[in-house]
Structure 1
């Protein structure tokens, strides 16, 4: 990326003392070392690589030999438009996306290097406003199917049991583990009833319905909060069974989810009392779990 980044670092010429004639990006021609390509500087009669603009200027006149090539003519034309300013130091500035700045911004350069990418349609159902960060991160991995479910482990050549760790009835995959598994469906059905969202055994159908949510934004926020929490708790239960031999019933998970959702809704109270009140009323309207 060196050649591309070079064009973003522009030398603002003042007195010319620090501006290197050959290598700094001080003119529209860019690097003069590259501009002359394979033509040696000595053949142009130009001073060595360490020369600065100030070295080549005396009392406002440019001390350059007669042009011997088209490339040299272009350089001399560029110099005729430039006047060194005594008392003003040379300085570098960043020019990214056509905007000049005296400060380096990591984020700005990162996105420029990364380039433009199409936004995926499921962005808003993963990176939710006021969501729980660790839940959003896990859901992002699940949507991309990057979690080490047993079908993926087998595809990597590992010798593991293929059965789902939650129901032990069918091969474990992302779609089965989170939506088709009877254990998971028990959790989904109860939590979905509480947030007025009917779960589906189809992963793609569920994603499509979440992306198409319209209407009451508070109701939609509660749905997305619950959806991400269910995925997080199911994945945690799966891993606890695998690594710690700890088993919880679906009712225990539902109870833990209920407490988490309540606590999260209460956390909105200081910043948005109306939001907290609205979400809590919706969550308690269909309450069936003892407090």
Structure 2
């Protein structure tokens, strides 16, 4: 089906069920078509830029901000489902103890706590902080600072929240599970790769942080240490 197939006598002919579901279709302006040109699929980005359609761009615009959803307690954990569904198993899928909730998942859960402690060993600022909301307050207090330690702390928090939530969903929907060691390796690799895209000056503190992540400074950036 082409755009031309959806227009008759200069008017849209949207299927009725489409209009009932997507009322904004009624407000779309009918384009001036030229028979000599083929249809081209465009995508309007979050920045209101009209670009050539690509699945990569769509994913960038539509993917959820997991860290923000977690902070706002909007992830669909089992404790939220309990509000309208009283029957069911609402036990944490990672440790099988406690109710699956934001507070439990980040990071009171035994599984998630082991992951968090392992990851934060590489981030002195976060070491010793167990609850996600305590960590957020600590990072927020340093919002005026833009040094590597603070940036890494943010990367560690974002990656930990994302992959712990991903692990929870893998167990819930696909019945697959990964060990603490495997998830820690995935999170660390994710943080390391993002650190390698940061431009930094060579200081003793930068070198110390880089070494914790098996990186080294070279030409104003961090690179992997070869085995």
TM-score normalised by length of structure 2:
0.59
Decide which of 107, 115, 137 is 1:208's aligned counterpart.
137
* 1:171-210 equivalences in 2 (<5 Å): 171-196=99-124, 197-210=126-139
Deviations 1:213-246 (A, max 9, x none): 2656211000001111000000000000001111
Deviation of 1:154 after TM superposition, in Å, equals: 0.9
Distance 2:195 2:189 in 1: 10
* 1:19-168 equivalences in 2 (<5 Å): 137-157=65-85, 159-168=87-96
Decide which structure has the larger Cα Rg and report it.
1
Q: In the alignment, does 2:178 pair up with 1:259?
A: no
Deviation of 1:176 after TM superposition, in Å, equals: 0.3
CA contact under 8 A between 2:167 and 2:177: conserved in structure 1?
yes
Distance 1:280 1:228 in 2: 23
Cα distance change of structure 1 residues 133 and 201 upon mapping to structure 2, 3 Å threshold: farther
Decide which of 206, 228, 239 is 2:158's aligned counterpart.
228
Could you tell me which runs of 5 or more consecutive residues in structure 1 were left unpaired when the two chains were aligned.
Answer: 1-106, 108-131
CA contact under 8 A between 2:91 and 2:99: conserved in structure 1?
yes
Deviations 1:174-227 (A, max 9, x none): 010111011111111111110112243334322221211265621100000111
Distance 1:192 1:134 in 2: 30
How many aligned residue pairs are there? Answer: 156
Deviations 1:51-73 (A, max 9, x none): xxxxxxxxxxxxxxxxxxxxxxx
TM-score normalised by length of structure 1:
0.47
RMSD (Å), alpha carbons: 3.2
